[in-house]
A and B are shown apart, each in its own frame.
Chain A
Amino acid sequence: QKEVEQDPGPLSVPEGAIVSLNCTYSNSAFQYFMWYRQYSRKGPELLMYTYSSGNKEDGRFTAQVDKSSKYISLFIRDSQPSDSATYLCAMSGANFGNEKLTFGTGTRLTIIP
């Protein structure tokens, strides 16, 4: 079983809908939780990160972490066609940047105009 599980999709939603992307994990040592966005033919780029449990909001994006359930989510409000991309969750322990990231397989999202 993988340390991080993510539904690969694909997921298609109409423009303006709320999108929910999720990952589950098994390693209780994970402390930092990140979401990366990857456009076609590009490398991933960091979208948001959170430390430990809780919520973090950045514009139309909200990241949630529930460490008790080992479950993280990314919500996209008022989705736009430009949000069409692959979204990857990533996690690491708390060894001050010295630990490798463990990624989910990514969810391919398409926003239909």
Chain B
Amino acid sequence: KAGVTQTPRYLIKTRGQQVTLSCSPISGHRSVSWYQQTPGQGLQFLFEYFSETQRNKGNFPGRFSGRQFSNSRSEMNVSTLELGDSALYLCASSPTGTPYNEQFFGPGTRLTVL
């Protein structure tokens, strides 16, 4: 079974621009979560989508948004980029029916904001 895929793997943008990141979950997984990883803050939860609905949300500003499509693929958008948005953005999918929320992570998209 193929793992979680994320595109693109690397991205360089300038302040004020917007960016869209894409994630394809493992086949059959309906939950997709997004995380921001930085050396200082570690792995921080952005939001989770389940069956095209946002189910959980972290403490990030409204510039960060996402959506999920009927095939469970998900996109994350960041508008009006700031230097502090430079980070590794990880997508994770999760199967339903497990009591613990095991996350299967993709390799991430490395975003650099100049």
Contact = CB atoms under 8 A, between A and B. Distances in A.
Contacts of B41: 105
A32 interface: yes
A79 B56 CA distance: 37
Interface residues of B, number: 30
Contact of B58 (A34, A92, A97, A100): A100
Contacts, number: 72
Interface stretch (B60-68, B77-85, B90-98): B90-98
A98 interface: yes
Interface string A30-42: 0010101000011
A32 B105 CA distance: 18
Interface string B2-24: 00100000000000000000000
Given A41-B107, A45-B105, A34 B100 contact: yes
